[in-house]
């Protein structure tokens, strides 16, 4: 992708395939929102990448309030220890009114089942705690060659 920005990674290139693979297998993405005082709030979140958007489940808190006030967000995957393999995503987020709870989203539960269990949750109890669904629509991917 080089210096160019794209709405989605180019799946015909090695770099695009690599980014798409990371989006399927990585456990955490960093979600950046803006507080009312214009300071960034950056938190790790679990996610499900669904082609051109991300599904995230949240607890009640500052990130949800930030998104309701300003839907412009950024997502970042972890880089390598030396700062390589950077993937950044610009997007707009919204709180979903009609979305099944996490335990009714098979792909989400399949991805996080072992972590949910390791924290002492069931899929249903996780969904009780993380009951606010967020949808991030991708506006731009950024990634180096």
CATH T-level assignment (fold) for domain 14-143: Pnp Oxidase; Chain A (2.30.110)
3-state secondary structure the chain: CCCCCECCCCCCCHHHHHHHHHHHHCCEEEEEEECCCCCEEEEEEECEECCCEEEEEECCCHHHHHHHHCCEEEEECCCCCCCCCCEEEEEEEEECCCCCCHHHCHHHHHHHHHHHHHCCCCHHHHHHHCCEEEEEEEEEEEECC
Model pTM? 0.91
14-58 pLDDT per residue, tens: 999 999 999 999 999 999 999 999 999 999 999 999 988 999 999
């Amino acid at each position: 992708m080089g210096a160019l920005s794209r709405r989605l990674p180019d799946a015909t290139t090695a770099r695009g395939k690599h980014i798409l693979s990371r989006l399927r297998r990585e456990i955490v993405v960093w979600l950046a929102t803006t507080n009312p005082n214009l300071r960034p709030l950056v938190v790790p979140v679990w996610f499900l990448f669904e082609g051109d958007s991300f599904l995230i489940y949240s607890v009640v808190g500052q990130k949800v309030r930030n998104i309701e006030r300003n839907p412009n967000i950024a997502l970042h995957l972890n880089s390598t220890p030396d700062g390589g393999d950077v993937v950044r995503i610009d997007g707009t987020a919204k709180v979903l009114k009609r979305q099944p709870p996490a335990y009714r989203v098979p792909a989400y539960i399949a991805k996080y089942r072992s972590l949910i269990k390791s924290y002492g949750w069931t899929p249903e109890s996780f969904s009780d705690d993380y009951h606010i669904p967020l949808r991030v629509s991708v506006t731009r991917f950024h990634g180096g060659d």
